[in-house]
Amino acid sequence: MKLYGRICHDLNNLTTETVKVSKPGVSKVHEKYICNQCGNTDQTLFFNYYCHHCNATTTYCRYCINLGKVQSCKAIYIIESERQKSLCKYRLNFELSEQQRHASDKIKQAVLNSEHLLLHAVTGAGKTEMIFEGISVARQNGDNVAVVSPRVDVVKEVYLRLAEAFKDEQIDLMYEGNFGQYNSTFVVATVHQLMRYDSHFDVVIVDEVDAFPLDMDNQLMHTIHKASTLHASHIYLTATPNQQLQAKFTDSQIIKLPARYHGHSLPLPEFQFNAIKETKLNQKLLKLLKKQIEDKRKTFVFFHDISYMKKVFNMYEHYFSKIEYVSSVDSERHEKI
């Protein structure tokens, strides 16, 4: 694996790559700290302590600590990018609808012209399949491509679909705990993982751009730009763009797909109130879950609180042979999902 375009902490990890520039992990500019790994400038997220290695006070960034500590007394190394063309053929098991072809063509042109685009498509419109052609032409030109999302679950699902379509491509899958194994020419990752790169990607496709935490964290949007080349094309995908996001694009840069590819309307959710207590079995919920199993349907029950969820789970697990709970603090979260 080559570390092209990456921010490297240890030169021993390099083989034939070239260092473009070295910097201290944290710099002080006009009496304010800036992290040279993630670009963080929030002064509350920097911490000073006495470093016994250099026998002086040093400063580190807490925002990107999960990617490896960067501090003012140690250098980081930005590695030169590399561009490798590939045939990048893909297989699609169905024919795109007219509106899907229109969106696919617009994305392709945006990629070729290094332009930005917002694809506003209803859930189920087939957004992933619409980016195939854009990815293909980008890789044929030797462009480095990143497909990212704020959510790990979305990243893993999109990766499986891209790996199935682009069988001959070397696609890096990156999220917390899972690292790339190729040369970063075609990456599927959480947005946080782009902090590992600097001016490397020529095309960045952001799925669920309005999802938490991306919609509430300007630093993550900065991360996307920092990992991109100066003239990179950014393609944003969402079913629910807010006004702030739409205002960043002209009308010609927004593609709207109001219908799903098969033409059927979206199913409308039905609201019912039912208080679920953590100390008493709810017969209505129990009956509903049993009916779902009889109909061979899979069911998610979402909770707002982890401890509350566990108590409810303990009551209902005795009634089902296949039932499981999972949360953000679960060490087996990915396996269970």
- Which phi and psi (to 5°) does residue 175 adopt? -155, 175
Q: Record the pTM.
A: 0.82
Share of the chain above pLDDT 90, in %: 70
pLDDT at 217 over 90: no
Cβ atoms of residues 205 and 146 within 8 Å: yes
3-state DSSP of 67-85: HCCCECCCEEEEECCCCCC
pLDDT (tens digit, 9 = 90+) per residue, 248-284? 899 999 999 876 666 677 778 889 899 888 889 999 9
pLDDT at 124 over 90: no
pLDDT (tens digit, 9 = 90+) per residue, 218-240? 788 889 999 999 999 999 999 88
Whole-number mean pLDDT of the chain? 91
pLDDT (tens digit, 9 = 90+) per residue, 100-109? 999 999 999 9
Amino acid at 155: V
The pLDDT of 113-133, averaged and rounded, is 91
